């Protein structure tokens, strides 16, 4: 199961497929390679939080902050959480307008988490074909083959543990 790469339903992957990250430590190796990063957080993060743990949102924000990434989000819950933590380097950005802007923003690595599956799948495919210089990493619980790098599809409990591990590793400055 942990190595399963494929997707929901019958969505066909393209000829250029993501590299699958099977060990969460590898995420650190990837993010270290890029200076300019954005960490886009979608509205579905609240649903993932309901299904895993109430502290998920805090952990995701912690990961984004540890990476020093610019945080675009359209989720009211995330905005409130960022305000509560007095985070300043975020922007309320709607995903499509964000996708349109990403190639112009000079971001080298765009990280995605918390978006509806097919919605993110298509945004990643836009970036893959039309902004090939922007590398993408998805931290969703389900594999996204249009990203440059994706986590494998994992049971939510394992995925949540991975997110916790990632947060810990980043905090320790690994």
Partner 1 sequence: MSVPFKDVRVRLEELKSSIAEVKGLDISIGYVVEEWEEPPGPTPFPSIITLRKWDHALLSRYKPLYLPYCDLCCLCTYGRCDLSRGKRGSCGLNLSEQQSRLVTLLTAIGASTHESHARELLDKLIERFGEDWPIDLGGEVYVEMPITRLVTGVKPRTLRDLKIVLEYVERQIVQTIASVHTGQEGDWIDYESKVLHLGMLDHVAMEVADVVQVVTLGFPKADPEAPLVDLGIGTVDSSKPVILVIGHNVLPSAAIIDYLEETQQRDKVEVVGLCCTAQDLARYEKKRAKIVGPISWQLRFIGTGVPDVIVIDEQCIYTNIVEEARKIGAVVLAASDKALRGLPDRTYASPDNVVEELVSGKIPGAIILDEERLAEVAVKTALRLSPLRAKYKWSLFDEKTVIEYAKKCTGCRNCERSCPQNLPISVALQKAAKGDVSLLRSLYSRCFACRRCEYVCPVNIPILTLILAASRDAMVNERYRCRAGRGPIQDTEIRAVGRDIVLGTIPGIIAFVGCANWPDGAQDVAEMVREFASRRYIVTASGCSAMAIAMYKNEEGQTPYEEFSGSFEAGGLVNVGSCVANSHIAGAAIKIANIFAKLPLRANYAEIADYILNRVGAVGVAWGAMSQKAASIASGFWRLGVPVIVGPHGMKYRRMLLGDMGNDGVWYGYDAVTGEKVWLGPAPAHLFYAAESKEEAMIMIPKLCMRPADTPQGRAIKLTNYISLYKRFYGEDKLPPDIDLYIRTEGDVPVPYRDEVLKYLKEVGWKEKPVTSNPTIIEDIIEIYKKRRQGGS
Name the residues that contact partner 1, by CB under 8 A: 1, 7-9, 11-12, 14-16, 42-44, 51, 74-76, 79-80, 83, 91-92, 94-97, 99-101, 104, 115-119, 122-123, 125-126, 128-130, 132, 142, 153, 155-156
- Give min distance, CB of 174 to partner 1, in A: 30
Nearer to partner 1, 15 or 173 (CB): 15
- Give min distance, CB of 111 to partner 1, in A: 17
Nearer to partner 1, 23 or 83 (CB): 83
DSSP 137: E
Q: Are 50 and 58 in contact (CB under 8 A)?
A: no
The structure tokens listed for 122 are 């298509």
Q: Residue ranges of the alpha helices (H) in the chain?
A: 25-32, 45-51, 56-66, 76-84, 95-105, 117-130, 156-171
Alpha carbons 78 and 157: distance in angstroms, whole number: 21
* Nearest CA-CA partner of 97 in 125, 63, 129, 123: 123
Q: Are 7 and 145 in contact (CB under 8 A)?
A: yes
- Give min distance, CB of 3 to partner 1, in A: 14
- Give min distance, CB of 153 to partner 1, in A: 7
Nearer to partner 1, 31 or 150 (CB): 150
Nearer to partner 1, 42 or 60 (CB): 42
Nearer to partner 1, 122 or 169 (CB): 122
């Amino acid at each position: 199961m942990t190595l399963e790469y494929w997707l929901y339903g019958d969505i066909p992957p393209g000829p250029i497929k993501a590299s699958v990250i099977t060990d969460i430590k590898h995420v650190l190796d990837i993010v270290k390679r890029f200076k300019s990063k954005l960490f886009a957080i979608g509205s579905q993060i609240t649903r993932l939080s309901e299904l895993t743990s109430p502290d998920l949102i805090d952990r995701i924000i912690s990961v984004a902050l540890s990476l020093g990434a610019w945080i675009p989000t359209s989720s009211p819950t995330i905005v409130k959480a960022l305000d509560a933590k007095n985070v300043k380097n975020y922007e309320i950005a709607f995903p499509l307008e964000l996708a349109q802007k990403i190639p112009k923003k000079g971001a080298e690595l765009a990280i995605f988490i918390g978006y509806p599956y097919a919605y993110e799948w298509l945004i990643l495919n836009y970036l893959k074909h039309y902004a090939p210089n922007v590398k993408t990493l998805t931290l969703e619980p389900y594999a996204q083959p249009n990203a440059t790098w994706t986590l494998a599809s994992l049971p939510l409990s394992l995925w949540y543990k991975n997110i916790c591990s990632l947060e810990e590793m980043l905090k320790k400055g690994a």
